[in-house]
């Protein structure tokens, strides 16, 4: 019986026609299998590895989006207790005071306690709170805004319009104020128009805005503009004092 010469196999291995297997794609396929099996934690770990180790892989943008969805579902879940605390209301407590004590915001308190509007609180009431210490990273060259929990990636959002100087220097700042506008007027809780109002986040220095907008691109307002739903989400889990980094690559 004739035997296939080993040299033939060597030629096959040396062939330039061998497919270039992207390791990020292989990791993504494995993550897909884990998700199908319901192994969410293992799948997320695999997807995070793509985001961190293979950021240029064709699978990386999808991995970032899935990881972001999984992270946010966990953060906003009322049943997932990690990172959340229970405050027992004391005499003299107010929503503003509780928000300040736990470094959170009133929108977030309302979300975790199933409130559609602000209501009176009494001593002994239990209020679920979640400290908000996320950092905002803005990358104008990528038209991307992302949230980070320390060194951990949380979620990324597309910037639909950006009115910033092209040569804006990389810098660190903080959220200086938050506001909401309805029909051209500023509104705040507990005003009934607050829920439908466009949310605005302003930095200290430089004096820039992040805002939501769903109208025609040519009429987009100045500043860093996201779609309105994304802006609502960011407004919910950020507070005055959060760190902001603007990162532009060197020219």
pLDDT, tens digit, for every residue of 196-215?
899 999 998 777 899 998 88
Residue 45, pLDDT score: 92
180 preceded by a cis bond (ω within 30 of 0)? no
Note whether 155 and 148 are within 8 A (CB).
no
Mean pLDDT of the 170-179 span: 92
CA distances from 123 to 8, 12, 84, 187 (A): 82, 77, 20, 29
- The predicted pLDDT at position 204 comes to 81
Residue 1 has pLDDT above 60, yes or no: no
Q: Is the pTM of this model over 0.85?
A: no
pLDDT tens, 16-27? Answer: 454 566 888 899
Asked whether 73 and 115 are in contact (CB, 8 A), the reply is: no
pLDDT score, position 18: 47
Q: What is the pLDDT of residues 117-128, one digit of tens each?
A: 888 899 999 999
Q: Is 75 exposed, middle or buried (0-12, 13-18, 19+ CB in 10 A)?
A: buried
Which residues sit opposite 126 in a β-bridge? 88
Q: How many CB atoms lie within 10 A of CB 105?
A: 24
Q: State the alpha helices, DSSP H only, in the chain.
A: 6-14, 23-36, 40-53, 60-76, 95-101, 106-112, 228-236
Q: Give the Cα separation of 139 and 60 in Å (integer).
A: 17
Token pair belonging to 231: 């802006």
* Residue in this structure with the two tokens 């969805």, named with its chain if needed: 69
The token duo for 110 is: 């309302």
Mean predicted confidence (pLDDT) in 71-87: 92
Q: pLDDT tier at 5 (50, 70, 90 boundaries)?
A: low
DSSP 8-state secondary structure symbol assigned to residue 181:
E
Count of Cβ atoms closer than 10 Å to residue 9 Cβ: 10
Q: How confident is the model at residue 188 (pLDDT cuts 50, 70, 90)?
A: confident
Nearest by Cα to 45 from 121, 117, 152, 122: 152
Nearest to 24 by CA among 66, 5, 65, 52: 52
């Amino acid at each position: 019986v004739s035997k296939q010469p080993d040299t033939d196999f060597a030629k096959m291995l040396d062939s330039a026609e061998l497919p270039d297997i992207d390791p990020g794609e292989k990791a993504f396929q494995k993550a897909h299998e884990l998700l199908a099996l319901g192994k969410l934690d293992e799948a997320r770990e695999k997807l995070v590895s793509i985001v961190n180790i293979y950021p240029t892989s064709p699978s990386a943008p999808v991995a970032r989006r899935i990881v972001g969805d999984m992270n946010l579902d966990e953060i906003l879940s009322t049943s997932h207790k990690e990172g959340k605390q229970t405050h027992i209301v004391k005499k003299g407590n107010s929503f503003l005071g509780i928000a300040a004590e736990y470094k959170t915001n009133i929108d977030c308190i309302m979300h975790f306690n199933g409130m559609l509007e602000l209501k009176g609180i009494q001593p002994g009431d239990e209020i679920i709170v979640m400290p908000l210490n996320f950092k905002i990273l803005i990358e104008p060259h990528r038209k991307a805004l992302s949230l980070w929990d320390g060194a951990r990636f949380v979620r990324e959002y597309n910037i639909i319009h950006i009115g910033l100087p092209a040569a804006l220097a990389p810098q660190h700042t903080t959220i200086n104020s938050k506001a909401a506008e309805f029909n051209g007027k500023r509104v705040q809780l507990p005003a009934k128009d607050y829920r439908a109002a466009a949310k605005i986040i302003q930095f200290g220095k430089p004096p820039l805005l992040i805002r939501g907008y769903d109208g025609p691109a040519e009429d987009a307002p100045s500043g860093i503009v996201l779609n309105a739903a994304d802006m609502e989400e960011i407004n919910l889990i950020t507070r005055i004092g959060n760190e902001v980094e603007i990162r532009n690559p060197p020219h």
